[in-house]
A and B are shown apart, each in its own frame.
Chain A
Amino acid sequence: GAVVSQHPSWVICKSGTSVKIECRSLDFQATTMFWYRQFPKQSLMLMATSNEGSKATYEQGVEKDKFLINHASLTLSTLTVTSAHPEDSSFYICSASDQPQHFGDGTRLSIL
């Protein structure tokens, strides 16, 4: 149980485009989902808390207009990286809270 699916697993796109990443809880409902960013050989850095039916809560230093989060249902949250640039290249991971948190397999984003 407690499976979290993240899609896509890998995306390469040109600078200036927007990229949407989906996070789904497959066998449970998640009022709260989380989005993390991870650089190579480093730990996870929380970007924002996604709340179903309300606005996301962003961590300090994370641009909310750059990283748009939508949590329209109890099983789906999306993260859209708008006008992506090479510095946005990273490994993005979502989690859904079934207390404890269960993580998706991550999305490797490469901006050329």
Chain B
Amino acid sequence: TQLLEQSPQFLSIQEGENLTVYCNSSSVFSSLQWYRQEPGEGPVLLVTVVTGGEVKKLKRLTFQFGDARKDSSLHITAAQPGDTGLYLCAGGGLGNDYKLSFGAGTTVTVRA
């Protein structure tokens, strides 16, 4: 089983601040997904990255896939209370590597 380590586990910041969540593994992944989950709901896909070194931007969110495809980061600029949630990285999910291996998750709280 491929393991993903996610850090930090909890993050509480003030509205307007920036934050970064990290996802690391000793294994290479063919792809990596970032999800956001709110209490009582299922995870919602934010982005899929497949190419080493790839950077994707989604409004104030920037996702980066490491050159070796073993790590990824999520950076949020000028966080807003609506960004509050559980952020999950998950490796795999595409092609023959169709099972997802989830990180432990990062609970982000943005205070108004």
Interface residues of A (CB under 8 A from B): 4, 6, 32, 34, 41-46, 49, 91, 93, 95, 97, 99-106, 108
Contacts and interface: CB of A to CB of B under 8 A. Distances in A.
B45 A46 contact: no
Interface of B: 31, 33, 35, 40-45, 48, 86, 88, 93-95, 98-100, 102-105, 107
B93 A97 contact: yes
Looking at chain B's contact residues, is the secondary structure mostly helix, strand, loop, or mixed?
A: strand
Given A100-B93, A101-B93, A42 B104 contact: yes
Contacts of A106: 40-42
A46 B104 contact: no
The 9 closest A-B pairs by CB, nearest first: A103-B42, A43-B105, A100-B93, A105-B42, A43-B102, A103-B43, A106-B42, A43-B104, A44-B102
Which of A42, A101, A102 has most B Cβ within 10 Å?
Answer: A101
A59 to B, nearest CB: 9
A4 B107 CA distance: 24
Contacts of B43: 44, 93, 103
Given A42-B105, A105-B42, A99 B94 contact: yes
Given A41-B107, A43-B104, A104 B95 contact: no
Contacts of A6: 42
Contacts of B93: 97, 99-101
Contacts of A43: 88, 102-105
A6 to B, nearest CB: 7
Contacts of B99: 34, 46, 49
Nearest to A103: B42
Contact of B98 (A41, A45, A99): A99
